[in-house]
Structure 1
Amino acid sequence: MTRKTVRIAMNGVTGRMGYRQHLVRSILALREQGGLDLGDGTVLWPEPILVGRREHALKALAEKHGLEHWATDVDEVLADETVDIFFDAAMTSGREEVLKKAIAAGKHVYTEKPTAVGLEGAIELARLAREAGVKSGVVQDKLFLPGLLKLKRLIDGGFFGRILSVRGEFGYWVFEGDWQEAQRPSWNYRAEDGGGIVVDMFPHWEYVLHELFGRVTSVNALATTHIPTRWDENGKPYSATADDSAYGIFEIEGGVVAQINSSWDVRVNRDELVEFQVDGTEGSAVAGLRNCRVQHRSATPKPVWNPDLPATYSFRDQWQEIPDNQEFDNGFKVQWELFLKHVYAGADYHWDLLAGARGVQMAELGLKSSAEGRRLDVPEISL
């Protein structure tokens, strides 16, 4: 076996997502398993370079995990010809600029979403990457969740018959920060810093709906800020200028209708933090992060509406759990593996910057729909 070292500049690894999912559970996990076998006698060995603004935090992470390379100067890292891939998980507001620099430097780019603050910028990134001949990838992690993989298995097997509708519930209560520390950074609630739940979550809903059910053709959304004042990391109050909840209706080619609620102001009364119910003529399913339950047409009970009598049975008990039937690896790690195989072995891969642009488009149209109070068509985009 031949070992090939791949140097990956990882920008934003001091943040929650960049550190936990991308560094520890993806890149370091690949190193722990001995690298990534390409199947042709080559093993890729990822060598991360930690990049960020806080020198002390980067140094601490490097020492904790026994890593040699870290830097606070992005331009210096991009000028290093030994760097193969640039990854970004830093603040949304600075992503477009740093990705442009990485593409201009000839680096393959892999990035969190949204890829830009507006559709025009997102399309420009996709165009620049294509013209530069560099490979690109956008994180679309929810496609690799066990629950949604089981749901995809049901769709591919024809379980639903004709799919009629999708109902999604996502969210949890994010503490305001006054008497309990908030679970999300304060910039998430400032529109001027790229915050807002529409910008954060509508790109997810676009690729989930697109990959599982078809292209989204229209969006009708209401975005709002339920909690106008929050407290930042220093305990100081600030005005929330970004939306913290959004309620969307999405039409999908072929007639499927999806309704998805997204909120950081909801207390969880469901099995998982996100759940999708899919109803079809032959059966229904409820899929979450890990689990998936079904009810087939032949096993559907006959509920009778009678408000004068209490229910004597549990509706949840009338559903059947879908077995795993396979080992599910961390979804972020799986997509990293696919992207690396795309870059170094020519494997098929379509979650690129153009796919990321569709997510930016969805968020942009969602905010516009909410501001104008009307349903908007979703034009197809291309380079």
Structure 2
Amino acid sequence: MTTRTLRIAMNGITGRMGYRQHLLRSILPIREAGGVLLEDGTKVQVEPILVGRRADAVREIAEKHDIAEWTTDQDAVIDADDIDVYFDSQVTSRRYAALTRAMRNGKHIFTEKPTAETLEEAIQLARLRTETGVTAGVVHDKLYLPGLVKLRRLVDEGFFGRILSLRGEFGYWVFEGDHQSAQRPSWNYRKEDGGGMTTDMFCHWNYVLEGILGSVKSVVARTATHIPTRWDERGEAYDATADDAAYGIFEIAGPNGEEIIAQINSSWAVRVYRDELVEFQVDGTHGSAVAGLRKCVAQQRAHTPKPVWNPDLPVTEPFRDQWLEVPANDDLDNGFKLQWEEFLRDAVAGREHRYDLLSAARGVQLAEAGLASSAEGRRIELSPITL
């Protein structure tokens, strides 16, 4: 069997997402398995080169996982002729310049989102990909999760009939950092560093809504900074200048042309009373379903009970027991790893990845529109993006 090797510069692997999901659970398992099997029966192996700003941290990860090469010189590794793929999971404020340099050097790119701090920059990245012809992929991990795979299957099979609405709940309590350490880095709560719930999560919600239901046509949003003071990694208090919650209502053009109303609440200042940290409920004329990261339950029209509102009597109906679990009917691997494998096949074949920089630009557009809607107190319509 013929095997070729792709050398992948991985920038930002000292961060939680870059290390756990992209290095530990994606690239290293692919390397250990001998690479990714291609359509023609050959394999492509991966060779990570670690990139980061903190030498001690990058060296420690490299030694721990038997990775031969690492560097703190981002520009040098992007410019190197023997690098095939550049991956970026560093802070958003540094991403646009790095992705631009990589594509101009002929590197395929795979990146976290948002891809840029502004819509204009995100569109420029998409245009540059078209000009250079490289393969560019943007992480759309949630669409590969078992719960949403099942939900999408229900949509494709016409389970819902005419789809009416989607309701989403995301979030958990992120500790302030004074008495208990925070679960998220402090830059997430500083606007000047690219932080903020809307900037972070509306990019996700855009591709989730597109991938499950259809394109987003408008948004009404309200953002909030519920916790105004937090404590950083050194235990020092700082002002939270970015929003830690965002409440959005989205109009969607459905798969059969129907108008669907989606409502998604996102908060790092909420305590969880649900089965998973994120859940989406889709309601239609013929049935409903609730999907989390892994589980999906559904209720058909014929099996829908008829509750009667009576506040004078205690509720005795076991509402949760009236739903049936949707089977996976397949063994699904880690969502990040699955998308990495798909992207690598596309890069070797020299074709476009289905979740590209234009998709990412639409996510940035929705985030900007959400912030504008909250600031101006009005509904914002989204215009189609053209390159």
Report the CA distance between 1:311 and its aligned residue: 1.0
Deviations 1:247-293 (A, max 9, x none): 00000112100000000000000000000000000000000000000
2:171 alignment counterpart = 171
Q: Does 1:318 align with 2:322?
A: yes
Paired AA for residue 101 in structure 1: R
Matched, 1:371 2:375: yes
2:308 and 2:209 map into 1 onto residues whose CA distance is 32
Residue identity matched to 1:354: L
1:278 is aligned to 2:282:
yes
Aligned runs of 1:195-214 on 2, under 5 Å? 195-214=195-214
Matches within 5 A, 1:22-101: 22-101=22-101
Cα offset for 1:84?
0.2
Query: Which residue of 2 is the match for residue 293 of structure 1?
Result: 297
1:309 to 310, 313, 319: 313
Does the 8 Å contact 2:55/2:71 carry over to 1? yes
> Which residue does 1:268 correspond to in 2?
272
Question: Are residue 245 (structure 1) and residue 249 (structure 2) matched?
Answer: no
Please say if residues 38 and 345 of structure 1, whose CA atoms lie closer than 8 Å, have aligned partners that are also in contact.
Answer: no
**What is the deviation of 1:208?**
0.6
Cα distance in 1, alignment partners of residues 33 and 352 from structure 2? 23
Structure 2 counterpart of 1:18:
18
What letter corresponds to residue 342 of structure 2 in structure 1?
L
Deviates more, 1:33-42 or 1:106-115: 33-42
Counterpart code for 2:240: A
Unaligned stretches of 5+ in structure 2? Answer: none
How far apart in 2 are the matches of 1:39 and 1:365? Answer: 40
Q: Distance in 2 between matches of 1:195 and 1:340?
A: 30
Shift of 1:350: 1.7
User: Contact conserved, 2:172 with 2:270, CA < 8 A, in 1?
Assistant: yes
Q: Is the 8 A contact 2:8 2:86 kept in 1?
A: yes
Counterpart secondary structure, 1:276 = strand
Match 1:339 to one of 343, 347, 360: 343
Task: Give the corresponding residue for 1:355.
Answer: 359
What RMSD, in angstroms, separates the aligned Cα atoms of the two structures?
Answer: 0.8
Report the secondary structure of 1:130's partner residue: helix
Q: Give 1:182 shift.
A: 0.1
Determine helix, strand or coil for the equivalent of 1:256.
Answer: strand
The aligned residue for residue 124 of structure 2 is 124
Q: Which moved more, 1:230-239 or 1:305-314?
A: 305-314
Gaps of 5+ in 1: none
Q: CA deviation at 1:147?
A: 0.1
Deviation track 1:24-52 (CA, whole Å, cap 9, x = no partner) reads 11100101222101032321110000000
Q: Superposed, which structure 2 residues align to 1:177-256 within 5 Å?
A: 177-253=177-253, 254-256=258-260
CA drift of 1:16 comes to 0.2
Deviates more, 1:239-248 or 1:98-107: 98-107
Alpha carbons of 1:289 and 1:283: their partners in 2 closer, same or farther (altered >3 Å)? same
Could you say what secondary structure the match of 1:357 adopts? helix
Return the offset for 1:78: 1.4
CA distance in 1 between partners of 2:39 and 2:159 (Å): 34
- The letter of the residue matching 2:356 is D
Offset at 1:129? 1.5
How many Å separate the matches in 1 of 2:91 and 2:121? 16
Aligned length: 383
Residue type matched to 2:128 in 1? L
Runs of 4+ in structure 1 off by over 4 angstroms are: none
* Change beyond 3 A, Cα 1:217–1:62: same
CA drift at 1:105: 1.3
1:338, 1:347 within 8 Å by CA — same for their partners in 2?
Answer: no
Deviations 1:327-372 (A, max 9, x none): 0100000100111111112566321111110000010000000000
Post-superposition offset of 1:80: 1.0
1:144 positional shift: 0.4
Give 2:249's aligned amino acid. Answer: I
Range with greater deviation from structure 2 (324-333 or 35-44): 35-44
Q: Distance in 1 between matches of 2:57 and 2:146?
A: 33
Q: Residue 325 of structure 1 aligns to which amino acid in structure 2?
A: N
For the residues of structure 2 that align with 1:323 and 1:15, how far apart are their CA atoms? Answer: 34
Helix, strand or coil at the partner of 1:67: coil
CA distance in 1, matches of 2:269, 2:316: 32
CA gap 1:103/1:346 in 2 versus in 1, 3 angstroms: closer
